[in-house]
Amino acid sequence: MSAHGRSEAFPMSAPQFCWAPSAWVDGRWQPHVLMEAGADGHWAAVTPGVEFPPPDTLVLAGPALPPLVDAHGHAFQRAFSGLSERRDGAGDDFWSWRERMYAVARRITPEQLHAVATHLYYELVRGGYTQVCEFHYLHHDVDGSPYGDPLTMASALADAAAGCGIGLTLLPVLYERAGFQAAALRDEQQRFRAGAQEVRDLQRAIAAAGRAHVSAGVAVHSLRAASPASIRQLAELVASDDAPVHIHVAEQAREVEECLAATGARPIEWLAREGFLDSRWQLVHATHAAPQEIAAVAASGAGVVLCPSTEANLGDGLPDLDAWLAHDVPLSIGSDSHVTRAWREELRLLEYGQRLVQRRRNVAAAPERGQPSSAGRLFQRALDGGARAAGLRRWGLAAGARADLLVVDPKDHALLGVPADRLLDALVFSSPGRPWRDVMVAGRWVVRDHRHAGAAEAAARFEGAMHALWHEDSARR
């Protein structure tokens, strides 16, 4: 049993062999796919073109898709979703949203974080994700003092992931100052405090715990929240690792302006100039990236994590999607503040934002590359890029990858009558729907016939945590 009272075993066993009438393999739909899950929870073999399923093979109820990695999230912010959508003053932007967000960051307890994260992770699995990268900076107690166990908050997240059956990449965050010109953190940020050595120690402790389907990288909150010396120290501490390194960068135009004033360079330009970027680095948002910066990222091998629903919710702006795609920069998606918790919606919003600003359709499609489907191109890029962002060597329906899959419900109203080769197009651009009939993680079913064991209990505990965080606080005021 976990520290929070839930078993870490996945809830439902799965057969060794399963067969799909069609499946997304090697970047396209392929017919009659036989999949063999090994005892280690990874695919032993994935074979298209097996017209008839062998005896004792489970025939899936619909086409199979590999799930995506949610490459960036802050679980505690799920407790804030929908609670910042009013404006009482003359203006509202990212910076005013951040001040209101601190209300939950200052108060949430380990028990409440576990309740919120558990409910969130159930939602993410039902939204088509089976791995989430947690950008984790709630390190300390509510008054900023260290917990006796430095992994208290990280363990709450890991227990939540184990309880609902999602993989987790924990990214402890370097966070030491309130801005480029600040020497320290503000009072409401004291929970976030962690230097380079502390981050390295947390990463090692998470890895040493040996939890199933939990891995660890590191993160830098942002250039404004960490000094150049500390960023360099952390980079040196993890120089021999192949674990991912994430950073918020160029999310806001004001951040770019402040970075220019403080360093003489734009944020991504500075990272490239200082020699930090390589294939382990993941640039989260990178909304305000200049053409020369995108070229530098491409040359370095680093990836970019786009978070369309949060970037829209916060008014961040739109990324230069054309340039990121044209330079073949590894691309993944994240749900960030979790105002949306399904990858179909993220990909739809990513494409629709470009259509609105460019006033043309199917912006992401590349027929000259043999990729006429906007949904297909974005999905495959996010599939490949998400694996790198999570530090996973293999991902998807392929031998050696973890045995994860989504079974599409062909009876979903949005998909009725859709030709097989247009199914992904309809999944992304026809909504609403409840398309995932079954979900497998590491060779075990976590969702069967739309039922996810434990989800109702988790929702009740989430509701209790929300009441404690918000309703009781309102009553006191």
For residue 26, what is the domain's CATH number?
2.30.40.10
Pair (43, 23) in one structural domain: yes
In whole angstroms, how far apart are CA 231 and each of 13, 103, 216, 259, 455?
44, 28, 18, 15, 40
The single-letter DSSP state of residue 243 is S
- What one-character-per-residue DSSP string does 354-421 give? HHHHHT-S-SS-BGGGTB--HHHHHHHHHHHHHHHHHT-S--SSSTTSB--EEEE-TTSGGGTT--GG
- What one-character-per-residue DSSP string does 186-210 give? -GGGGGG-B-HHHHHHHHHHHHHT-
Element (H, E) at 31: strand 28-37
CATH code at 142? 3.20.20.140
Tell me what pLDDT residue 89 has: 86
Pair (73, 49) in one structural domain: no
Q: Pairing state of beta strands 405-408 and 64-65? A: antiparallel
Q: Is 151 domain-assigned? A: yes
Q: Is 10 domain-assigned? A: no
Q: How far apart are alpha carbons 120 and 156 in whole angstroms?
A: 13
Tell me what pLDDT residue 476 has: 47
Pair (425, 348) in one structural domain: no
CA angle 101–105–109, rounded 5-degree value: 145
Pair (23, 153) in one structural domain: no
**Terminal alpha carbon distance of the chain:** 39
Tell me what pLDDT residue 10 has: 44
Calculate Rg over the CA atoms of the chain. 22
Pair (427, 342) in one structural domain: no
User: 179 Cβ partners below 8 Å, 6+ apart?
Assistant: 224, 225, 258
> Do the Cβ atoms of 133 and 390 come closer than 8 Å?
yes
> Do the Cβ atoms of 277 and 271 come closer than 8 Å?
yes
Domain closes at, from 372, 390, 408: 390
Q: How far apart are alpha carbons 296 and 273 in whole angstroms?
A: 9
Q: Is 469 domain-assigned? A: no
Q: Is 467 domain-assigned? A: no
Buried b (16+ CB within 10 A) or exposed e, 177-205: bbebeeeebeeebbbbbbbbebbbebbeb
> Do the Cβ atoms of 371 and 363 come closer than 8 Å?
no
Residue type, 218: V
Q: Is 8 domain-assigned? A: no
Pair (61, 72) in one structural domain: no
Tell me what pLDDT residue 389 has: 98
Bridge partners for 447 per DSSP: 439
Domains in the chain: how many in total? 2
pLDDT one digit per residue (tens) for the chain, 477 residues? 245 644 334 446 666 999 999 999 999 999 999 999 999 999 999 999 999 999 999 999 999 999 999 999 999 999 999 999 999 888 899 989 998 899 899 999 999 999 999 999 999 999 999 999 999 999 999 999 999 999 999 999 999 999 999 999 999 999 999 999 999 999 999 999 999 999 999 999 999 999 999 999 999 999 999 999 999 999 999 999 999 999 999 999 999 999 999 999 999 999 999 999 999 999 999 999 999 999 999 999 999 999 999 999 999 999 999 999 999 999 999 999 999 999 999 999 999 999 999 999 999 999 999 999 999 999 999 999 999 999 999 999 999 999 999 999 999 999 999 999 999 999 999 988 899 999 999 999 999 999 999 999 999 999 999 999 998 655 444
Long-range contacts of 311-314 (CB under 8 A, 24+ apart): 311/251, 311/285, 311/287, 311/336, 312/349, 312/353, 313/337, 313/339, 314/93, 314/94, 314/97
Pair (318, 235) in one structural domain: yes
Q: Is 395 domain-assigned? A: no
Q: List the structure tokens of 123.
A: 């939602």
Pair (352, 425) in one structural domain: no
Catalytic, out of 70, 159, 320, 336? 336
Q: Is 28 domain-assigned? A: yes
Is 336 among the catalytic positions? yes
Domain closes at, from 390, 412, 430: 390
Catalytic, out of 246, 285, 338, 452? 285
Pair (428, 373) in one structural domain: no
Tell me what pLDDT residue 432 has: 83
Q: Is 121 domain-assigned? A: yes
Q: How far apart are alpha carbons 19 and 31 in whole angstroms?
A: 10
Tell me what pLDDT residue 14 has: 65
Is 449 among the catalytic positions? no
Bridge partners for 53 per DSSP: none
Bridge partners for 174 per DSSP: 220
Tell me the residue range of the domain where 269 lies: 68-390
Q: How far apart are alpha carbons 299 and 316 in whole angstroms?
A: 26
Pair (193, 271) in one structural domain: yes
Bridge partners for 215 per DSSP: 169
Pair (118, 21) in one structural domain: no
Q: How far apart are alpha carbons 340 and 333 in whole angstroms?
A: 12
Pair (48, 89) in one structural domain: no
